[in-house]
Amino acid sequence: MIIYATKQTFERYKLKLPAELTPPLNMIAHYLLELYKDDKEMAKALKKLFEGNPVTCFAKLTDKSAIATLNTTQSSFADDGYRFYEFIREGILHTMEINHAANFK
């Protein structure tokens, strides 16, 4: 499976390109299964996907239309960053909750 990411995402999260990978971490599977835990059909499909494709790597997202859509979505959801304060508790930003809200609400 290939997950496309922008150059900024690669830099911010220090992601590695496929050629730079050593044994891959299976954190993406855990993250997606947690994100979709309430959607039984999607969770089942993800489990099947990861069983059939145990290696996950990242590649640069170069589709300018997709990048523009992602930037617009992020900007409208975040309200210039103020919305993220709703997801901070005890000094911790709960990113899983942000992704769940952005995807399902």
CB 3 within 8 A of CB 56: yes
Q: Where are the domains of the chain?
A: 1-62, 64-105
Query: How far is it, in rounded angstroms, from Cα 29 to Cα 57?
Result: 12
Give the pLDDT of residue 22.
54
Give the pLDDT of residue 18.
65
The pTM (predicted TM-score) of the whole model is 0.52
What is the pLDDT tens value at each position of the chain, 105 positions in all? 567 888 888 888 888 776 666 544 477 777 888 888 889 999 999 888 888 776 766 788 899 999 999 888 888 887 777 788 889 999 888 888 888 888 787
Query: How far is it, in rounded angstroms, from Cα 97 to Cα 85?
Result: 12
